[in-house]
Amino acid sequence: MRLRNNPRAYDIMNENKDFVVIEPESFKNNWKSVFGNDNPIYIEIGMGKGDFIYENARQFPEINFVGIEKYPSVLAAAINKINAREEKVNNLRLMHYDAIELHQVFEKDEVDKIFLNFSDPWPKSKHAKRRLTSSKFLDVYKDILIDEGNIEFKSDNRGLFEYSIISLNQYPMDIEYISLDLHNSPESEINIMTEYERKFCEKGPIYKLVARYRKNG
C-alpha cells in the first residue's frame, strides 16, 4: 500500500513515541524492555493502515504485536488511524523499517510468528527477489524467529500465492495449512481482516497458507 507523500510523516512518528519505536535497533535482544514483559512477539511485515495488527492486539492482550511498514506516509496514516480508535491497546508497537534488514532489529528467537498480508506481488520475473516470500526474505525470517516459528500469509494474487507455495516448499519448511478461498472456509469465522481485504474480498477469493520452519532445518 502506498499513499501520497505526507511531508509530516516523520513528525507524526516522533510525536507518538509511546507506541512508535523510533530506533528499533537499540532494542535488539531486549524487546521485553519495550513491552515490559516476556510475552510472545508476533510481527506483521507491511502493515498498511494497521487494521489487522491493531485488532489482533485488541483481541489477544497476552501477545505483543509489532507492525512494520517500509513507507513513512503509510505508517503515518496507520498512526493517525490507531490514535482515532476509542479502545487503546498497550501490547502494540509500530516501526518504520525495511523487512530485509530485520536481523538488525531482532535477535534469533525474539519473534514467535510473522504475518504477511497482501504483499506486493512484484509480477515481473526480474523482480522475484523482492517478493516477501522469496528465499532472500525467508533467510531473514529464519534469523529472527524461534525454532519452528511460523509464517501466516494471505493474498488475493493467485500468481504470488503459487510462487509462495513453491518457494516455501524449496526451503526447509512445512506447509501446515492452505486455503484457496478463505472467506468461504470454516476459518472465516475467526479471520481478522485487513482494510484491503475488506474492500476487495468480493472481487475474488482470498488465499491463505501457514508454514513452519523445520527445527534445525
Would you list the DSSP string of 15-72?
TTTTTB-S-GGGGTT-THHHHTS---EEEEES-TTSHHHHHHHHH-TTSEEEEEES-H
- Residue type at 20? V
Q: How far out from the chain centre does Cα 180 lie?
A: 20
The active-site residue out of 120, 139, 147, 156 is: 120
Dist. CA 208–CA 132, nearest whole Å: 14
Is 120 catalytic? The answer is: yes
Dist. CA 163–CA 128, nearest whole Å: 9
- The angle at the Cα of 149, spanning 22 to 29, to the nearest 5 degrees, equals 35
Dist. CA 64–CA 33, nearest whole Å: 12
Catalytic residues: 120
